[in-house]
Amino acid sequence: MTCLQLQKPTLVGNLRRRRGIPEIERCSDDERGLKVRMCGLTAAIAHSLTAVLKIAGEHIEAMIAHAREDHPDEACGVIVGPEGSDVPTRFVRMINADRSPTFCRFDPEEQFELYNAMSAAGEEIVVVYHSHTSTEAYPSRTDIALASEPQAHYVLVSTAVSGASDGPVSVRSYRIVDGGATEEEIDVTE
Amino acid sequence: MSVEVRIPTILRTFTGGAKAVHGNGATLQQVLDDIEARNPGLKDRIVESETLRRFVNVYVNDEDVRFSGGLDAPTADGDVVVVLPAVAGG
């Protein structure tokens, strides 16, 4: 499968990055000593537990198919799942209201319908995906500035190389919290 | 009775984790001012320069307030206000 082959270099990068102790700088100066170490440890544990997206192969393929169909405009959508589960189960294509090759925004009416459906079913957004059609699968400054689903995995699909046709695409996942993006591993399940 | 305001995950740091808060007022502006008094900082994430932030959607009883008066949209006891940050990027 194309996407699996392409994820290997990404995976290596992720594992390298995870060796460092993350987010220790969040502790304030007056919390040095034991508290700082504990804070770092807690952050490291939380990081190792959450820094992976477990996702079904069919969902990866559905995101790629959507990105190819809408190329050269950006495609966007979500995969929702039971609240608090961190498991993406229901794939929802969304309309890019801007129909633009450089920007995407959910249609406000469709987003509200999604909100109502999720509220009724006890679901939340687990994955937010969108495509980049002329740049790499890395969050843009705009992506980071506007990210507002702290519980979600942000998946970028780049069709910059292949365009709408069959060919190499890259799929990468990030956490975007407090103005920073951290890449994470993608674990493809059945 | 009062107006229920549903808070998105990213703004729950301002409400002590509460998914919804209640406020009083005859307009969206008044309701937001009322809940701001008990949840300081919340309004600033929804309103900028006396208008709704560009990337925040607000609905009163299923209606997008951009089409019903913005911050002047009328509210009444029992109404439900939903705040949804736009999902957008470049």
pLDDT at A7 over 50: no
Percentage, residues of chain A above pLDDT 90: 71
Residue A129 CB coordination number (10 Å): 29
- ipTM exceeds 0.85, yes or no: yes
Percentage of chain B lying above the pLDDT 90 cut: 99
Contacts of B58 in chain A (CB under 8 A): none
Above 90 in pLDDT, residue A45?
Answer: no
Q: What is the pLDDT of residue A77?
A: 98
Q: Does A123 touch chain B (CB under 8 A)?
A: no
Cβ distance of A148 and B8 shorter than 8 Å: yes
Q: Which of A107, A111, A135 should one mutate to test binding to chain B, selecting the residue with the greatest count of B CBs within 10 A?
A: A111
List, for residues A138-165, the tens digit of each pLDDT value. 999 999 999 999 999 999 999 999 999 9
Question: How is residue B66 written in tokens?
Answer: 């951009």
Topology of A53-189 in CATH?
Cytidine Deaminase; domain 2 (3.40.140)
- Cα–Cα distance, A63 to A184 (Å, whole number): 18
Tens digit of pLDDT for each residue in B50-89? 999 999 999 999 999 999 999 999 999 999 999 999 999 9
Q: Is the peptide bond before A88 cis (omega within 30 degrees of 0)?
A: no
Give the pLDDT band of residue A40 (cuts 50, 70, 90). Answer: very low
CB atoms within 10 A of CB A121: 12
- Chain B residue set in contact with A, beta carbons under 8 Å: 8-10, 55, 57, 59, 62, 64, 66, 82, 84-90
Per-residue pLDDT averaged across B16-22, rounded?
97
Contacts of B84 in chain A (CB under 8 A): 108, 111-112, 115
Q: Which residues of A touch B59 (CB under 8 A)?
A: 112
CA-CA distance, A181 to A147, in Å (whole number)? 10
Average model confidence (pLDDT) for chain A? 80
Instruction: Say how far apart CA A76 and CA A155 lie, in whole Å.
Output: 10
Tell if the CB–CB gap between B84 and A115 is shorter than 8 Å: yes
pLDDT at B1: 73
Q: Do B87 and A106 touch (CB under 8 A)?
A: yes
Compute the half-sphere exposure of residue A60: CA atoms within 13 Å on the CB side of its CA: 22
Quote the pTM value: 0.81
**Tokens 């995976």 found at:** A11
> B24 pLDDT exceeds 50?
yes
Could you tell me which chain A residue has the CA closest to the CA of B13?
A150
The mean per-residue pLDDT over the stretch A16-38 comes to: 33
Domain ranges across chain A = 53-189
**Can you give the pLDDT at residue B63?**
96
Higher pLDDT among residues A43 and A55, named by residue: A55
Residues of chain B in contact with residue A112, where contact means CB-CB under 8 angstroms, are 57, 59, 62, 64, 82, 84
Tell me what the mean pLDDT of segment B4-25 comes to: 97
Terminal Cα distance for chain B, rounded: 42
Closest by CA to B42, choosing from B18, B61, B66, B59, is: B18
Q: Is A185 on the interface with B (CB under 8 A)?
A: no
Kindly report, residue by residue over A67-102, the tens digit of the pLDDT.
999 999 999 999 999 999 999 999 999 999 999 999
CATH 3.10.20.30 fits B3-85, yes or no: yes
**What residues in A contact B87, CB-CB < 8 Å?**
76, 78, 94, 105-106, 111, 125, 128, 148-149
Residue B85 identity: P
